[in-house]
C-alpha cells in the first residue's frame, strides 16, 4: 500500500512539474492609458492597471519628457473601485513630443518590480 501511494504521489508531482508547475501571476503592468507606444493628445491623467493589487504605498509613477526632465504630476492614487488601478493626475498640458512613464511597485510576493513605457503627445488639432 505504501509503495502504491508513493508511486501515485511521485506521478502527480511529475505531472505538475511537466505542466510547468502551478501558474503564479507575478506583479506587473497589465495595461495603461495611455498605452505603450501610443500617439495621443495631452492626457489629463495616467492610469496603470497591475496584475494584482500593489502593496499599500508601494507604487511610484514618474513622467519624464524626451529631454530627461521630470514632469510634475500628482501622487499615485489607488482607484476605490478597482484596487489594481493606480491613477496619477497630469495637472498641465504636455508639449508635443515623446514621454516615458517610469513605475515601481511591490506585489503580494514582496518583490520590487520596476519598468517603463513610452508614448508620444501629438499637437491638438
Blockwise average pLDDT, block size 10, the chain, 125 residues: 58 47 74 98 97 95 97 97 97 96 94 96 86
pLDDT of residue 66: 96
pLDDT of residue 109: 84
pTM of the model: 0.79
Q: Do 35 and 119 contact (CB within 8 A), yes or no?
A: yes
Measured between alpha carbons, how far is 74 from 91 in angstroms, rounded to an integer? 7
Q: Do 40 and 30 contact (CB within 8 A), yes or no?
A: no
Strands 39-40 and 112-121: parallel
Residue among 91, 125, 83 nearest 107 (CA): 83
The structural domains of the chain, ordered by start, are 25-121 (2.60.40.1220)
Cell of 11: 506521478
Amino acid at each position: 500500500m505504501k509503495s502504491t501511494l508513493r508511486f501515485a504521489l511521485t506521478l502527480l508531482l511529475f505531472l505538475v512539474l511537466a505542466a510547468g508547475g502551478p501558474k503564479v501571476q507575478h506583479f506587473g503592468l497589465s495595461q495603461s492609458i495611455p498605452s505603450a507606444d501610443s500617439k495621443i493628445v495631452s492626457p489629463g491623467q495616467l492610469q496603470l492597471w497591475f496584475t494584482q493589487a500593489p502593496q499599500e504605498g508601494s507604487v511610484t509613477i514618474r513622467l519624464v519628457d524626451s529631454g530627461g526632465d521630470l514632469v510634475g504630476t500628482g501622487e499615485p492614487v489607488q482607484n476605490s473601485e478597482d484596487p489594481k488601478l493606480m491613477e496619477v493626475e497630469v495637472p498641465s498640458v504636455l508639449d508635443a513630443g515623446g514621454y516615458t512613464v517610469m513605475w515601481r511597485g511591490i506585489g503580494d510576493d514582496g518583490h520590487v518590480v520596476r519598468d517603463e513605457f513610452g508614448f508620444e503627445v501629438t499637437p491638438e488639432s
